[in-house]
Structure 1
Amino acid sequence: MIDVAGSLRRAWHQLIAHIDFPLLLITLAIMAVGLATVNSATIDSSHRMMSQAGNMGLAMVIMWFVSRLPPQKLMSFAIPLYVLGVVLLIAVFLFGVKVNGARRWLPLGFTRIQPSEIMKIAMPLMLAWYFQKYEATLKMKHYLVAALLLFVPFALIAKQPDLGTALLVGSAGFYVIFFAGLPWKIIVGMIAAAAAAAPLLWGMMHDYQQKRILTLIDPTTDPLGTGYHIIQSIIAIGSGGAIGKGYLNGTQTHLEFIPEKHTDFIFAVYSEEWGLLGNATLVFLYTLLIGRGMIIASGAPTLFSRLLAGAITLGFFTYAFINMGMVSGILPVVGVPLPFMSYGGTALVILFLGIGILMSIHTHRMLVKK
């Protein structure tokens, strides 16, 4: 007799063998909140919520496949993915399509791609591989080479211009370098140098980037122009009060005052409907996500795994911090989505690639040679 029940159990266990359920459940909780908020923000366009649900399904399938890849296999992708990303960024600079004044897209005939998204994963992969290779002989020259590897794609992305993605890629690379043991005196020196170079950097900025910083200082100087986004967002967040106006009852949202309400400014929609209590709950969920990621990083058996897991985890923090900061009016608007909340397929796939890598590092930790 064929043991059907036993075969099904074994198949099920094989299916979920590489899934880290604490990490998955936290991510699903944030996604559920995000999907409900996208539905509220696009209540007159229900196809967007269905599209986002489809994006989530695809992203989770990709996460499942990546979680089954051992860290050694992930390491083998580091150089090819980084080189591909840099080559595509150069191609964007030479042949890219301009959209809304920015050259970020590369046409492929049947579709177009945004190569800068690749670097969000390629950058920490490359630097983690590099420091793993020279783990036994790390010297200052290795940190300088790592900084150069980081600077090239960062400069190419910032030139497009796409300051938001450049910051995300730059921060991911910096986290790897920091976790690899970058001395504090170097970090302090870099901060001092950046502060001293601020006047020069101001002159190198595009007009719209300067306006964003000036708007941050006082959005009322141009309430119907560059300050409009921030003013309406702050009104929405403040009007939510302690417990919010209730689901689907946000007036700023449904009277179309909040711009980009299903993408970059989805946090304003959520805040208006759920108030301070809802915001505290969401921050708690992100804290759990980051905490779980750091636990995985601390338990990783190799330098490559630790650096990669730490950089990906703090990448989630950077996403959330920058988005909430810009929507709340304490940071300039730079076009960074709220992770697992904002509408968009490409960003969601990249985020779930990160989740899949964390699961791979965690579930293969006993199989990796120390």
Structure 2
Amino acid sequence: MSYLDYKVAQVPTGFRKVLYINWPLVLLITAVCCIGFLMLYSVAGGRLDTWAEPQMYRFAIGMVVMLGLAFVPMWFWRGISIGAYVACFLMLVAVDLFGVIGMGARRWIEIGPIRIQPSELMKIALVLLLAAYYDWLDMKRVSRPLWVLIPVVLILAPTALVLVQPDLGTSIMLVAGGGIVMFAAGVSLWYFGVVIGMAVGLVVTVMRSRGTDWQLLKDYQFRRIDTFLDPSADPLGAGYNIIQSQIALGSGGWSGRGFMQGTQSRLNFLPEKHTDFIFTVLAEEFGFIGASSLLALYMLIVFFCLYSALTNRDRFASLITIGISGTFFLYFAINMATVMGLLPAKGSPLPLVSYGGTSLMILMLGFGLVQSAHVHRPR
């Protein structure tokens, strides 16, 4: 036992857990959220009460939730993993039956005054269940076909329900998040090669289905693909968002135009500037330096999560941390790639920065699980 561990061991259990919290991760999350408050203040024209202040309240609640979950032992998360998955799955079924329609999609259910998006909760519940499954499964069986089929079904079942809503972006994130846990658990790479081959075949099939009686995507989703390939083909219609986003990114230059001086956002050329396209506001006002700094903070968050996972001797806790950090990586990578025109537009928020209660609270819930895994790892 090291001297530090010896000193910590003398502290009462409750205080000891406080000392074991991953405080660098807490500081990094807080720093990113503060950047979000700053940008929400900017896009609101210097008003706190429009978007920044409500987001601050949500962050305060989310921080309490995250730190509270850090004290919950890992046996509890193992115990509720199946129940959490089943509950989220049933909510997804409820969405398809009588969910609330918004922006052309049925993605929410209302419980009293609260509106919930179950697909966001499923991202966490799926990671939780897969981690519990691979913690239970003997390592020798991980790559055997029957034992690979079970997690594949667990991933595809909710993915199919989300795809019907329709929400292609979240469907992809569910598949990718589940795949990250399977990869970390040691599933043979041959299976991933087969999946990649099937994905390529699916893309070809989807594109050939356009205009037929068995068209696999909605018309607006095909328009997003067209816009991705050539935004200038419809500069005032489907290509408008990406073109304005790229103008904002380019006009920021090296050091930016200055705080609250971005013309694209101030003159309302940018769509959804407080949610999906807030990264372009940051890039225009603070330039390449500001955008790179935010990306560096994101990567540090992922690094601290992965370091915690790799040094954790509890397989269940390690897989949870890897799964949630991988999901978080997908969040910001997809948003940044989308606003830069590297991926088709899918309407994903920038994590911890964009305005929105559901996304922020789900992320803080996920980081609460990461903290719980870190605090209760074997020492």
Give the TM-score taking structure 2 as reference length.
0.91
Alignment match, 2:31:
29
**Residues 91-147 of structure 1, C-alpha deviation per residue, up to 9 Å, x if partnerless?**
111111222221111133444322112101101001111111113443221111100
Aligned counterparts of 1:248 and 1:192: Cα–Cα separation in 2:
47
Alignment match, 1:140:
145
Contact 1:264–1:342 under 8 Å retained in 2: yes
Contact 1:62–1:352 under 8 Å retained in 2: yes
What is the CA distance between 1:70 and its match in structure 2?
A: 1.3
Q: Which residue of 56, 71, 76 corresponds with 1:73?
A: 76
Aligned counterparts of 1:62 and 1:18: Cα–Cα separation in 2:
17
Contact 1:176–1:307 under 8 Å retained in 2: yes
Given residue 259 of structure 1, which amino acid in structure 2 is its aligned partner? Answer: P
Alignment match, 1:342:
354
Alignment match, 1:260:
272
The 5 A counterparts of 1:110-125 are: 110-125=113-128
Instruction: Specify whether residues 53 and 79 from structure 1 end up closer, same or farther in structure 2 by C-alpha distance, changes over 3 A only.
Output: same
The 5 A counterparts of 1:165-314 are: 165-202=170-207, 203=209, 204-314=216-326
Given residue 124 of structure 1, which amino acid in structure 2 is its aligned partner? Answer: V
Aligned counterparts of 1:260 and 1:14: Cα–Cα separation in 2:
44
Q: Secondary structure at the match of 2:256?
A: coil
What is the CA distance between 1:211 and its match in structure 2?
A: 0.7
Aligned counterparts of 1:135 and 1:306: Cα–Cα separation in 2:
16
Contact 2:116–2:358 under 8 Å retained in 1: no
Contact 2:314–2:378 under 8 Å retained in 1: no
Aligned counterparts of 1:101 and 1:267: Cα–Cα separation in 2:
24
Q: Which residue of 136, 139, 161 corresponds with 1:156?
A: 161
Instruction: Specify whether residues 226 and 57 from structure 1 end up closer, same or farther in structure 2 by C-alpha distance, changes over 3 A only.
Output: same
Aligned counterparts of 1:289 and 1:159: Cα–Cα separation in 2:
33
Aligned counterparts of 2:374 and 2:227: Cα–Cα separation in 1:
43
Aligned counterparts of 2:115 and 2:377: Cα–Cα separation in 1:
38
Contact 1:18–1:68 under 8 Å retained in 2: no
Alignment match, 2:6:
none
Tell me, which stretches of 5 or more residues in structure 1 are unaligned? 1-8
Alignment match, 2:333:
321
Tell me, which stretches of 5 or more residues in structure 2 are unaligned? 1-10, 210-215
Contact 1:299–1:362 under 8 Å retained in 2: no
The 5 A counterparts of 1:20-99 are: 20-43=22-45, 45-47=47-49, 48-99=51-102
Contact 1:121–1:354 under 8 Å retained in 2: yes
Contact 2:177–2:326 under 8 Å retained in 1: yes
Q: Secondary structure at the match of 2:101?
A: strand
What is the CA distance between 1:33 and its match in structure 2?
A: 1.1
Q: Secondary structure at the match of 1:197?
A: helix
Alignment match, 1:6:
none
Contact 2:63–2:364 under 8 Å retained in 1: yes
The 5 A counterparts of 1:347-366 are: 347-366=359-378
What is the CA distance between 1:16 and its match in structure 2?
A: 3.0
Instruction: Specify whether residues 107 and 280 from structure 1 end up closer, same or farther in structure 2 by C-alpha distance, changes over 3 A only.
Output: closer
Aligned counterparts of 2:47 and 2:112: Cα–Cα separation in 1:
29
What is the CA distance between 1:205 and its match in structure 2?
A: 1.2
Give the TM-score taking structure 1 as reference length.
0.93
Given residue 279 of structure 2, which amino acid in structure 1 is its aligned partner? Answer: F
Q: Secondary structure at the match of 1:16?
A: helix
**Residues 212-234 of structure 1, C-alpha deviation per residue, up to 9 Å, x if partnerless?**
11101110111111111100000
What is the CA distance between 1:66 and its match in structure 2?
A: 0.9
What is the CA distance between 1:45 and its match in structure 2?
A: 4.9
Aligned counterparts of 1:351 and 1:177: Cα–Cα separation in 2:
21
Give the superposed CA RMSD: 1.8
Contact 1:245–1:275 under 8 Å retained in 2: yes
Aligned counterparts of 1:178 and 1:14: Cα–Cα separation in 2:
33
Aligned counterparts of 2:177 and 2:123: Cα–Cα separation in 1:
7
> In percent, how many aligned pairs have the same letter?
40
What is the CA distance between 1:44 and its match in structure 2?
A: 5.8
Aligned counterparts of 1:246 and 1:10: Cα–Cα separation in 2:
49
Contact 1:18–1:67 under 8 Å retained in 2: no
Aligned counterparts of 1:294 and 1:186: Cα–Cα separation in 2:
24
Q: Secondary structure at the match of 1:118?
A: helix
